[in-house]
Amino acid sequence: MTAEDHLMAAERITDRLRVAVAAPLSEENRARVRELEPRIELVVDQSLLPPMRWPADFAGDPAWRRTPRQQHSYEALLDSADALYGIPDVDPSALARTVRANARLRWVHTMAAGGGSQVKAAGLGAAELDRVAFTTSAGVHGRPLAEFALFGVLAGAKDLPRLNRQQRAREWSGRWTMRQVSEQTVLVLGLGGIGRVVAAKLHALGARVVGTSRRDVTVPGVSEVVSPDRLVEVAPAVDAVVNTLPGTEATERLLDKRFFDALRPGATLVNVGRGNVVDEAALLEALDTGQVGFAALDVFETEPLPAASPLWDHDQVLVSPHTAALNAAEDRLIAELFAANATRLLDGDGLLNRVDTVEFY
């Protein structure tokens, strides 16, 4: 498609935006989208979408299957749209097929906050990435993830594993001094939508918050902002670490043996970002030596967490099955974010949460 064709296509969608609903979207939330942006034409066939088992279950029941005729209808619906609400079947290969089959497609909104990794997995070419804008649902998960992060930091400070062991053993031990979050320094990796909420909640408890960013930023509640390449340098002063970073080549195993060895002994680790930011072998070693005193993990290098993983049985680890972000309002919040971005697209404004197609976050 030539530059002139791109311009004509852009002009075509300034008055109306034909959106194929590629992921489950309730009638209530469809009505909400239409109310917020009347210029959207939602194209949806509920019979072609899998039933959700819980809120934000956009992949749906894995036992559900389309017939060949239904699959043909689903793909025809996707190929008729200017924009997609969701990655088809949360499947990168289905996204690639749709981008290549639908020359009019201009925008895809992903349900995940870390949707950039799904876009990367689609293996799209430079021209395709230039033609189609991709956005994520970053921000809608901020509050629930921040609460889990706060819970993890508090659990580490209050010796939750020891309390659990003693309760199971019916052991009334001698008293001991618990740590106070208000006296701790907490390192928050990433100061995006989630990290900023985490920082605010920790600051409200009186913690000193150190954040990481590759940019020179000022964030309320954050005492100091350091570059990610200074992690080992600041680690000795850190009592707890909260990771909110996405999974990219730059963040892969950022928390490695060098980092854990440099931490203040007994530090707490909470991961609500992506699992591959943490070197799990190095983490296990740090847990065994007591360098890390407690880890609250909602995400893992491999998901589901393999049954053979030592993390399952480790006394100092809390395993959460990637559920900390889920809340009853998530579907509605994503629908509202999508409608806001549709308005921006139709009005010629920049999109919120646009995926960086170089680093894919």
Q: pLDDT tens digit string along 37-65?
A: 999 999 999 999 999 999 999 999 999 99
In the chain, the DSSP E strands lie at: 17-21, 40-43, 83-85, 107-109, 133-135, 185-189, 208-212, 224-226, 240-243, 267-271, 292-297, 317-319
d(CA 270, CA 241): 6
Q: Which residues contact 293 (CB under 8 A, 6 or more apart)?
A: 156, 265, 266, 267, 268, 316
**Is the Cβ–Cβ distance between 195 and 244 less than 8 Å?**
yes
Please tell me the predicted confidence (pLDDT) of residue 4.
36
Mean pLDDT of 25-33: 97
6 pLDDT band, cuts 50/70/90, is very low
d(CA 96, CA 236): 45
Judged against a pLDDT cut of 60, whether residue 13 lies above it is answered with no
d(CA 111, CA 135): 9
Judged against a pLDDT cut of 70, whether residue 301 lies above it is answered with yes
d(CA 224, CA 210): 5
3-state helix/strand/coil string of 245-277:
CCCCCCCCCCECHHHHHHCCCCEEEEECCCHHH
Annotated catalytic sites, by residue? Answer: 274, 303, 322
Judged against a pLDDT cut of 50, whether residue 12 lies above it is answered with no
User: Which range is least confidently modeled, 112-116, 144-148, 278-282, 297-301?
Assistant: 112-116
Q: Which residues contact 132 (CB under 8 A, 6 or more apart)?
A: 99, 105, 106, 107, 108, 124
Please tell me the predicted confidence (pLDDT) of residue 11.
42
113 pLDDT band, cuts 50/70/90, is confident
291 pLDDT band, cuts 50/70/90, is very high
Helix then strand then coil, in percent of the chain rounded to 5, is 40, 15, 45
Q: Which residues contact 333 (CB under 8 A, 6 or more apart)?
A: 137, 140
d(CA 303, CA 135): 23
d(CA 120, CA 133): 13
Please tell me the predicted confidence (pLDDT) of residue 15.
86
Of the CA atoms within 13 Å of residue 332, those in its CB half-sphere come to 6
Please tell me the predicted confidence (pLDDT) of residue 1.
46
Q: What percent of the chain has pLDDT over 90?
A: 93
5 pLDDT band, cuts 50/70/90, is very low
**Is the Cβ–Cβ distance between 105 and 94 less than 8 Å?**
no
Mean pLDDT of 152-176: 97
Mean pLDDT of 178-195: 96
**What is the dihedral sign for C-alpha 260, 262, 266, 272?**
negative
Judged against a pLDDT cut of 60, whether residue 350 lies above it is answered with yes
Mean pLDDT of 171-200: 97
